[in-house]
């Protein structure tokens, strides 16, 4: 039996998106053919916290050895067969500390990075390839600074990881958003209503802006620009009057804010990265539109269809882009690894695959350039100056 050249660990963290399994497949197939062993870390960073450093312990819930058969079966499906979590190893509450570590970590909040490093050594991991958004990958930056050889792959349907035009999951998200909006417009038209569709997007409005640019909605409101509800009602009333079917659609990012207001939170709980759970902005916009509608519709109330697209846009199998890009990202990661290069984020910039220093992930936030891409008077994208723009228009950081 040929001796392995080394061990590559791979994990997925944060929210699931279509395209994760194709990325895992790409890394695994290439790595195995190059003579490496591949270990899939289960449940994101949680798998590297919960692991028990005992060869006789049952760690099957924390990692598994990957083969071509395993990844080939999974690659055509959505989600992540390795499972995921929003665990942040630097902020583990006392209640979340694994049972075998409770005597050692007794503070209200604990940094378990020391355990993560020891567990990677226990597994014999030489290279680690995390796939995630800016939260998951921000911890990858921390591990890189601790000496772990890391190559990161960007994933998030919000498309807001800095340094790259594209993140795995984004294309399927906007494809689903356009499709679901077009399905629902028959209801809005039949009843001559406003339709408010809430979409994901905490700090970045790409998931609302791109479908609107594609013609799925008349208007959109995004986190990067506070909107005036009276002005939005006026615009939608105008759209409804002009439309032969007498309806109008607005896409509302979950992180959008009323002028002078704040983000709307679903409850008081937070995830491991300290983010409060958003939800409800679509409900408030719907209520306010209905209440204000008589002012702009000759005294007549316009009823509202209110739908949160939510998990519908991240479920199911990946579309074409989210099948192709993960394949390329996975092979890019292996190209770097085979050259002995680490501390990099694989990216897609201006239509070309590339890689950048991993530190870019924590260096800044990636949000919509409002001045360049958003018409703040009309609450819709700007339809101009497309020459030499990247494929998905407003996703490049120039």
Q: How far apart are CA 19 and CA 170, in angstroms?
A: 9
Q: DSSP string covering 353-368, please?
A: EEEEETTHHHH-----
Of 332, 346, 334, nearest to 155 by C-alpha is 346
Tracing tokens 């942040």 back to the chain, one arrives at: 88
Cα atoms in the Cβ-side hemisphere of radius 13 Å centred on 249 = 27
- Do residues 20 and 80 lie in contact, with contact meaning Cβ atoms separated by under 8 Å? yes
The question of whether 369 is a catalytic residue gets the answer: no
Sequence-ordered list of residues with C-beta below 8 angstroms from that of 181, at least 6 positions apart, any chain? 197, 211, 216, 217, 249, 251
- Do residues 254 and 262 lie in contact, with contact meaning Cβ atoms separated by under 8 Å? no
Q: How far apart are the first and last CA of the chain?
A: 50
**Helix spans in 51-169 (H):** 68-74, 113-123, 134-145
Sequence-ordered list of residues with C-beta below 8 angstroms from that of 19, at least 6 positions apart, any chain? 155, 168, 169, 172, 318, 322, 323, 325, 326
Strand-pair partners of 7? 37
DSSP letter for 212, please. H
Tracing tokens 């006789």 back to the chain, one arrives at: 56
Catalytic residue among 158, 160, 165, 239: 158
Q: Which residues are catalytic?
A: 158
């Amino acid at each position: 039996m040929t001796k392995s050249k080394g061990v590559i660990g791979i994990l997925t963290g944060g929210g699931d998106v279509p395209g994760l399994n194709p990325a895992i497949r790409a890394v695994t197939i290439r790595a195995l053919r190059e003579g490496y062993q591949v270990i899939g870390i289960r449940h994101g960073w949680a798998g590297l916290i919960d692991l028990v450093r005992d060869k006789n312990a049952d760690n099957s819930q924390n990692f598994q050895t990957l083969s071509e058969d395993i990844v080939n079966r999974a690659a055509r499906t959505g989600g992540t067969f390795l499972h995921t979590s929003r665990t942040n190893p630097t902020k583990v509450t006392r209640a979340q500390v694994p049972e075998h570590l409770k005597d050692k970590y007794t503070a209200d909040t604990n940094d378990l990075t020391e355990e993560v490093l020891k567990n990677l050594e226990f597994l014999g991991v030489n290279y680690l390839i995390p796939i995630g958004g800016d939260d998951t990958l921000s911890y990858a930056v921390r591990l890189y600074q601790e000496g772990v050889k890391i190559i990161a792959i960007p994933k998030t349907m919000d498309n807001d990881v800095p340094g790259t035009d594209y993140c795995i999951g984004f294309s399927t998200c906007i494809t689903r958003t356009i499709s679901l909006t077009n399905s629902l417009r028959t209801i809005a038209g039949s009843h001559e209503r406003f339709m408010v569709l809430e979409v994901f997007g905490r700090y970045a409005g790409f998931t609302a802006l791109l479908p609107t640019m594609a013609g799925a909605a008349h208007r959109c409101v995004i986190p990067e620009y506070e909107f005036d509800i009276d002005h939005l009602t006026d615009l939608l009333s105008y759209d409804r009057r002009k439309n032969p079917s007498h309806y109008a659609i607005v896409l509302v990012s979950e992180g959008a804010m009323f002028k002078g207001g704040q983000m709307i939170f679903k409850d008081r709980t937070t995830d491991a990265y300290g983010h409060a759970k958003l939800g409800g902005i679509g409900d408030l916009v719907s209520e306010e539109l209905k209440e204000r509608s008589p002012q702009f519709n000759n005294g007549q109330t316009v009823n509202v269809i209110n739908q949160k697209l939510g998990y519908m846009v991240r479920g199911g199998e990946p579309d074409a882009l989210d099948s192709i890009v993960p394949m390329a990202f996975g092979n890019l990661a292996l190209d770097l690894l085979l050259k002995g290069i680490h501390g990099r984020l694989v990216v897609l910039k201006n239509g070309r695959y590339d890689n950048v220093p991993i530190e870019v992930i924590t260096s800044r936030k990636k949000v919509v350039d409002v001045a360049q891409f958003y018409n703040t008077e009309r609450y819709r994208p700007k339809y101009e100056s497309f020459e030499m723009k990247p494929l998905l228009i407003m996703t490049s950081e120039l």
